Structure 1
Amino acid sequence: MFTTVRQQGWVDGSAAITGITPYASALECLMHYFREQQTICKKCCHVNYNHEAIQQCKLQKVDFIWVNRDLENFSWFLQLLNDFENEQLTYLETLRANNVTSKRYIDFHFYFTSLKSNNQGMIGYAPFDLAANIYQNVSNRDVLTKMRTKTILGRPQWSLLFAKFKAEHRRTSVFFTGKPVMGEDIKRWCDQYQFMYYHEPYF
């Protein structure tokens, strides 16, 4: 199913539930693949992975970018992402315990557009930023999603994201579902950086 070196998936949170479903299925397939490489000792319950098989997977990295303004309507999807985040943490800790060089195979990027961050000049939301940072530091969880990945307030800075992806990997494919306006913007960046662009329409 995955054939490129690196893939990005953009989901505009204003999309219908059906627009998210293909991405949920893709993430479940990827998580299932890593669980297939997992072995658990029956005596001590020690977890190990077939690291060589994972390294040979053609898909080397996924960046899942989710732009949303109403997280409560997608609690079921957040649970899937949280499971995947925990799965990766177990994988990385296992490799480090065995002195094996580890690397992340998926990164989540969450953007909550109902609020603006201080970095975008909205000083009126300073109390929220402060509370969110304290919560993250104390609990190691995001105040909005309850995941380890921190949610960024406001919209993505496409120039920074695309420059980062280009610097890390030469071959990248981008898959997007959401409003056409955002899709057109993302496609322009893909054309500039010579990334393959795929759009999943939603109705």
Structure 2
Amino acid sequence: MASILQSVWYKYKKAKQFCPRCQHSWYGQVPESLMKLNKVDFIWINRDQRCFEWFISLLTKLEMEQIEDQKGSFEHFIQMHMYMTAAAKKTDMKGIGLQMALELMHKKDKKDLITGLKTKTEAGRPDWNKVFAEIRDENKGKVKVFYCGAPALGKTIKEACAQFNFGFSKENL
């Protein structure tokens, strides 16, 4: 997924336009000849903090470049959704204190303590109906889900995709 994300970002950056007089820059419509994507929602689920470490430098770079390129109403082309399954949710008595501390620190520093990204890491597993409903409601066009991971989770995601009429492709580990 790292190489795919990097390739998508480089193609998107090719659509950046500059004013010849003042060097003001903006992103126009990405030509279909470059890429047929309107948006990427990258959902990454890990058991614990260590699992995030190997890939976090690329995600940090993508996040920072999008922030630097943000002009006016620019919407993040690559939106990240991070989940840590070993963290207890706020509804779990063991996790209330930890989750409150993480939320307070994220609000204060605008940085996630688990990954170091501006994107907040959520505790537990994604609620696929909620995640997919939000993606559908953005109305960015046809949705295709690419999955890499354990077959059991792949089956769950495939079923959720069918409910939302999303395409689904997978690569099993």
Q: TM-score band (shorter)?
A: 0.7 to 0.9
Alpha-carbon displacement from aligned partner over 1:111-131 (angstroms, at most 9, x marks no partner): 10001211xx20222221121
Structure 2 Cα separation of the partners of residues 31 and 71 of structure 1: 25
Cα distance change of structure 1 residues 74 and 132 upon mapping to structure 2, 3 Å threshold: closer
Tell me, yes or no, if the aligned pair for 2:15 and 2:31 is still in contact at 8 Å. no
Task: With a CA cutoff of 8 Å and minimum separation of 6, indicate the structure with the bigger relative contact order.
Answer: 1
Aligned residues: 168
Name which of 86, 104, 119 aligns with 2:76.
104
1:67-82 matches, within 5 Å, as 67-82=45-60
The corresponding residue for 2:144 is 173
Cα distance change of structure 1 residues 124 and 60 upon mapping to structure 2, 3 Å threshold: same
Q: What SS does structure 2 have at the residue aligned with 1:54?
A: coil
Alpha-carbon displacement from aligned partner over 1:151-173 (angstroms, at most 9, x marks no partner): 10011111111222222235100
Structure 2 Cα separation of the partners of residues 143 and 130 of structure 1: 12
Q: Which runs of 5+ in 2 are unaligned?
A: none
The corresponding residue for 1:13 is none
The corresponding residue for 1:161 is 131
Normalising to structure 1: TM-score of the pair? Answer: 0.74
Structure 2 Cα separation of the partners of residues 158 and 107 of structure 1: 16
Name which of 101, 113, 127 aligns with 1:131.
101
Tell me, yes or no, if the aligned pair for 1:64 and 1:106 is still in contact at 8 Å. yes
CA RMSD of aligned residues (A): 2.3
Alpha-carbon displacement from aligned partner over 1:9-49 (angstroms, at most 9, x marks no partner): xxxxxxxxxxxxxx101111122224434579xxx9x7724
The corresponding residue for 2:11 is 33
Alpha-carbon displacement from aligned partner over 1:40-95 (angstroms, at most 9, x marks no partner): 9xxx9x7724x225375420011000111123144230111111011111121xx2
Tell me, yes or no, if the aligned pair for 1:38 and 1:47 is still in contact at 8 Å. no
Name which of 103, 113, 117 aligns with 2:85.
113
Q: What SS does structure 1 have at the residue aligned with 2:87?
A: coil
Q: What SS does structure 2 have at the residue aligned with 1:161?
A: helix
Normalising to structure 2: TM-score of the pair? Answer: 0.86
Tell me, yes or no, if the aligned pair for 1:69 and 1:112 is still in contact at 8 Å. yes
Q: What SS does structure 1 have at the residue aligned with 2:163?
A: helix
Cα distance change of structure 1 residues 188 and 75 upon mapping to structure 2, 3 Å threshold: same
The code of the aligned residue for 2:136 comes to K
The corresponding residue for 1:89 is 67
Q: What SS does structure 2 have at the residue aligned with 1:147?
A: coil
Structure 2 Cα separation of the partners of residues 39 and 163 of structure 1: 32
Q: Which has the higher helix share?
A: 1
Cα distance change of structure 1 residues 74 and 134 upon mapping to structure 2, 3 Å threshold: closer
Tell me, yes or no, if the aligned pair for 1:67 and 1:155 is still in contact at 8 Å. yes
Deviation at 1:184, TM superposition (A): 0.5
